[in-house]
Structure 1
Amino acid sequence: MNTTETKDFLTSHSYELYESTTMPFTNKTISHFALTDSLLHYVGKYKKNSLHFWPTSNLVILGMMDTKLPYFKDALEIIKNYDHSFIVRNSGGLAVVGDEGVLNFSLILPEHPQQKMPINTGYEFMFHLINEAIKPFGKISEAYEIKDSYCPGDFDLSIDGKKFAGISQRRLKNGVAIMIYISVNGNQEKRAEMIRDFYQAGLKGESVKWHFPSVDPSVMATLEELLSISLTVDEMKQLILNTLLQKNCTISPGVYSSELLADYSEGFEKMIRRNQQMLGNSIDKELIE
C-alpha cells in the first residue's frame, strides 16, 4: 500500500466516537472487549467508521496462546503478586499490560465482502495516524518487530530501537478493528519485568511448540520518555483526535442503539464464558460481575 492511499483514508472521513466516559455499562473491563465486537458488526452492516478509546487499571490482557503455557496457573500467580488482574481477550497474540499510563485505541472500519482489506493495509492506517499525531515533537516511529518485547509483532512501533506500542487486528463479518496499545507514561520497565516473570514461571525452562518471547525490559520505553516531553494518556488521545480533525474528518459521539446494545449483551456473555473456560478457578470474579 502506498502513502497516498493511507493519507486519503485518514482525510475527509466521518467517525463515531465511543469511549469509557460515555459507555452505559457498569463493567468497565469485559465491556470494552464486548463493545469492540458489537462495533465490528455495526460498522460492517452500516458502513460507518468508529473510534474506540478505552483505559484499564492494572490489568494484564492475555492472548489465547498464553493459556497454552505448561505452568499457566503458576504464571497467573506472578501477575497476582504484581497486584494486577488478568483477562483472556477474544483475539490472538500474547500478553500485554494495561494501566493508567497506557492508552488503548481502536480504528474500527467497514470492509467490502468482495474486497477484503489486506492485513498490512490496516496496520499502515494506524502506523500513519500515530506518526502524524507525534510529528510536532520532532520524531517519528518505525514499524518492525522488537523481538524481546512483550507481544512482539511486525508492526511494533519504536523510536530509537525502543518499543512503545503494539498493533493488532480483529475481524468479524464485514468489519475490521485495528487496535493499538500505547505506553504513554508510567513504569514501562516494571510492566516488562512482570511479563518476563510471567513467561519464566509459565515455562520453567521447558521447550514447547509455541513461541513465547524472552522479554528484555531494556528494549521497551514509554512515549513520554522517547519524546522527552511530559505526556498524559488524555493528551495522547487528544493528539490523535486533533490529527483527524486537521485532516478534515468529522467526529461525532457514538450512539448506543438498541441493536448495538443487544449485540453487546451477546458479546459480553461470550467473553465471560471464554474466561471461565480458559481460567477456571483462577478467574478474577470481580472482572466478570
Structure 2
Amino acid sequence: MTPLTELSIPSEKPYLLFDSESSPFERTPASPFALTDAFIDYAVRLKQPVLHFWSTKPLVILGMMDTKLPYLDTALTVLKEAEYDYVVRNSGGLAVVSDPGILNISLIFPEGDERLTITEGYQRMHHLIEQTFKSYGKSIDAIEIPDSYCPGDYDLSIDGKKIAGISQRRIKGGIAIMIYISVTGDQDARGNLIRTFYEKGLSGTTTKWTFPHVRPSSMTTLEEVFGMPFSLVQVKQSITMTIQNLTTQLSLGQYDQEIEKNYLEGMEKMKKRNEKVL
C-alpha cells in the first residue's frame, strides 16, 4: 500500500476543516452532496486539501442504480414506513444508511498534473482509518463484503465484518474520497432495512442490474467490534489527530461567497436529479 504520507499535499498546506455541525446552510438530505462539490472547488481554488465531517438524521442514500428497481415506489414505501428520508446521490454506488450513529468523512484534494488513481484514492482513505484505530489491536482490511449493502472492493472490515464503505467523486480538477463509518447504533436494523428495500423493490423480478442480497450480520459497528462505547465526537477527534500526525496541521475552513454560490448551484442540480429519477 502507498502510505498516506507519500500521497499527501505538501506539508506547508494545512488541511481545511469543515464540520456539518457548524454549517451555515440548512441541513437537508441533499446538502452534503452539494457541499462536497462546493468544497472540491474550494480545494482547487486554494490549492489545499479539505477534511469534511458530516452526519445526518435517518437517511438512506441511494445510488443511481437503485432507481432501476422495477418496483421502486414500493421499495421507497419501506423507507418511509421506517421513518427514513432518502436522496439519490451524485456519486457512484448503491444504497447506504446514514443516521446519527454513522460518521461520514470526505477527504478532498486538488489535483495538478499528477492525478490520483482511483486505487490510490481508496488507499489513502484506508490508510487514514487504519492509522486512526491501530492502537485497538485489530486489523482493518480492505476487501469486498459481497453480502453487505453497497459492496465494493474497498469495503473496510474488522474480523470479517464491514464497518465502512468508500466512494469517490472527481470534478473540476479535484477529487473527493468519501467514507461512511458505522460508529454506533443498531447495525442489524440498518441491514434489515436495506435488505427489505431490495426485496420489495425486486419482488422476485430478474433484472440486468445486480443488487446485493444483504445479510445484516455481515456488518458491524466500531462500538460492537471493539467492545467499548464510541461517539462521533470521539472519532472526529481521533481522525484529526491522525491527520496532524501523518501530514500537517489543521485550520478551520471559511465559508466564503464562492462556496455559497457553488453550494446553491449544487443544490439545484441535486433537486433536478432527484425530481427526474424519483
- Determine if the TM-score, normalized by the shorter chain, exceeds 0.5: yes
Deviation at 1:40, TM superposition (A): 1.1
Structure 2: distance between partners of 1:56 and 1:27: 8
Look up the match of 1:233. Answer: 232
1:156-200 residue CA offsets vs partner (Å, 9 max, x unmatched):
000110001000000102110000000001000000000000000
Look up the match of 2:267. Answer: 268
- What letter matches 2:122 in structure 1? Y
- Name the stretch that deviates more: 161-170 or 7-16: 7-16
Look up the match of 2:94. Answer: 94
**Residue 170 of structure 1 aligns to a residue in which SS?**
strand
Deviation at 1:2, TM superposition (A): 2.9
Deviation at 1:250, TM superposition (A): 1.0
Look up the match of 2:77. Answer: 77
Look up the match of 1:106. Answer: 106
Paired residues of 1:63 and 1:91 also in contact (CA < 8 A): yes
Structure 2: distance between partners of 1:278 and 1:18: 30
**Residue 135 of structure 2 aligns to a residue in which SS?**
helix
Look up the match of 2:217. Answer: 218
Identity rate, percent: 50
Paired residues of 2:187 and 2:219 also in contact (CA < 8 A): yes
Paired residues of 2:35 and 2:266 also in contact (CA < 8 A): yes
Deviation at 1:97, TM superposition (A): 0.2
Paired residues of 2:2 and 2:123 also in contact (CA < 8 A): no
Gaps of 5+ in 1: 280-289
Paired residues of 2:5 and 2:247 also in contact (CA < 8 A): no
Paired residues of 1:45 and 1:174 also in contact (CA < 8 A): no
Paired residues of 2:60 and 2:85 also in contact (CA < 8 A): yes
Paired residues of 2:66 and 2:94 also in contact (CA < 8 A): yes
Structure 2: distance between partners of 1:40 and 1:244: 19
1:207-244 residue CA offsets vs partner (Å, 9 max, x unmatched):
11111000001110111111122111111111101111
Deviation at 1:246, TM superposition (A): 2.3
Paired residues of 1:142 and 1:157 also in contact (CA < 8 A): yes
Gaps of 5+ in 2: none
Aligned residues: 276
Paired residues of 1:167 and 1:181 also in contact (CA < 8 A): yes
Paired residues of 1:129 and 1:240 also in contact (CA < 8 A): yes
Look up the match of 1:8. Answer: 6
**Residue 166 of structure 2 aligns to a residue in which SS?**
strand
Structure 2: distance between partners of 1:228 and 1:139: 12
**Residue 60 of structure 2 aligns to a residue in which SS?**
strand
Look up the match of 1:286. Answer: none
Deviation at 1:248, TM superposition (A): 5.0
Residues 5-154 of structure 1 mapped to structure 2, 5 A cutoff? 6-9=4-7, 12=11, 13-112=13-112, 114-154=113-153
Deviation at 1:22, TM superposition (A): 2.1
Structure 2: distance between partners of 1:29 and 1:212: 23
**Residue 94 of structure 2 aligns to a residue in which SS?**
coil
**Residue 150 of structure 1 aligns to a residue in which SS?**
coil
Look up the match of 1:259. Answer: 258
Paired residues of 2:148 and 2:216 also in contact (CA < 8 A): yes
Look up the match of 1:165. Answer: 164
